[in-house]
Amino acid sequence: MSKLLLIRAAAEGSPSPVIPNVAEIIIGLIAFSILFILLRTKAVPKFEKAYTDRTDAIQGGLERAEVAQREAEIALKKYSEQLSDARGEAAKIREDARAQGAAIIEELRTKAQEESARITAAAVAEIEAERQQALNSLRNEVGTLATDLASKIVGEALDDQVRQSRIVDRFLSDMEKSK
């Protein structure tokens, strides 16, 4: 049915609903041109500026990220070097402490040996002094006994100190020879 209407409208000479009127086409072209010129002069530069700003921001962000990455790598290398140096220094300090500990132990050992030697020497000297004292005491007792015995054997008193001393010394030297 719509085909029939179209055919009838074309035959009657009335304006066609499909084909627009020439005045409408001209007004449409003028409106489109004005809209195109406005968009071209106002909107497109703003879009291009926004696009350029966005591109610059992204490009700047990438460059900043690359710079930050390089700085981070440099900082990591420095940190690794410092850590390595610190480990080396710690190892050196430990080694020095071990060496100092060994030196202190050796020094204490030497001091202990010296003290032991000093105590031993003092003990030996004390023993020797006591031995000499015992010998002197024994010599006096033996002398007294020998003098008493000799007085009894000889039958006369040997009270003379010089004479007693000679007799005791001769007796002791004879005893030492007989050993």
- DSSP annotation string for 83-130: HHHHHHHHHHHHHHHHHHHHHHHHHHHHHHHHHHHHHHHHHHHHHHHH
pLDDT-derived band at 54 (thresholds 50, 70, 90) equals very high
Q: What is the mean pLDDT of the chain?
A: 83
**pLDDT of residue 150 exceeding 90:** no
| The model's pTM | 0.39
pLDDT-derived band at 82 (thresholds 50, 70, 90) equals very high
Conformational region of residue 160, where left means phi above 0, alpha means psi within -120 to 50, and beta covers everything else: beta
Give the pLDDT mean for 142-168: 67
**pLDDT of residue 9 exceeding 70:** no
- Please report, for the chain, the start and end positions of each structural domain, with discontinuous segments joined by +: 16-178
Residue 133, pLDDT score: 87
Give the pLDDT mean for 158-170: 67
Give the pLDDT mean for 116-144: 85
**pLDDT of residue 29 exceeding 80:** yes
The more confidently predicted of residues 145 and 113 is: 113
Contact 146, 165 (CB under 8 A): no
**pLDDT of residue 16 exceeding 60:** yes
pLDDT-derived band at 10 (thresholds 50, 70, 90) equals low
pLDDT-derived band at 177 (thresholds 50, 70, 90) equals confident
Residue 19, pLDDT score: 78
**pLDDT of residue 157 exceeding 70:** no
Alpha carbons 33 and 157: distance in angstroms, whole number: 172
The more confidently predicted of residues 13 and 89 is: 89
